[in-house]
Amino acid sequence: MSATRTMGTTLTKTMSGAEGADLVIANLTSIGEIGIESDEIDTTDLDSANDYKEFIAGAKDGGEVSLSGNIKVESNVEAMLALAESRAIEEWTVEYPSGATWVFDGFVKMFKDTEKNVEGLAGFTGTIRISGQPVYTASA
């Protein structure tokens, strides 16, 4: 089996019935890591063998998904700013060219217009804070 390219991966905010069509976040240059990380609970006590700390897994955390992109369409900036202002938990989907997906609920924790410089492009960065369990579905 060969490796999978990421070119063509999309990030979409699902719109509820009355809102209209789903919102594809356009012109992304990167979508950060998605996964699960467990907190750790220290169970070390005075009887722990050989002076080694002991742990058990605590609550699971879906983490945050970082974004960056180019500003080619002003409506993209307006949409992300509105989402950041609303702080509403929305459904998001990251879809790979193969058809595999990550689906998660989250809110736009941060959205910024990037630094402007002589050789630079107009760009943006953002972070979506995952709320609850991210769900991965392999391609069919």
State how far the Cα of 27 lies from the Cα of 30, in Å rounded to an integer. Answer: 9
Q: Is residue 92 part of a domain?
A: yes
- pLDDT tens digits, one per residue of 28-42: 999 999 999 999 999
Range of the domain at 26: 10-31+60-137
Q: Is residue 48 part of a domain?
A: no
Q: Is residue 39 part of a domain?
A: no
**Residue at token pair 């700013």:** 81
**Residue at token pair 């959205």:** 111
Contacts of 26 (CB under 8 A, 6+ apart): 69, 72, 73, 76
Number of domains, the chain: 1
- The pLDDT value recorded for residue 45 is 97
119 band by pLDDT with thresholds 50, 70 and 90:
confident
Backbone phi and psi for residue 27, each to the nearest 5 degrees, phi listed first:
60, 35
- The pLDDT value recorded for residue 17 is 63
Q: What pTM was computed for the model?
A: 0.89
- The pLDDT value recorded for residue 37 is 97
CATH number of the domain enclosing 115: 2.30.110
Q: Is residue 128 part of a domain?
A: yes
Q: Is residue 76 part of a domain?
A: yes
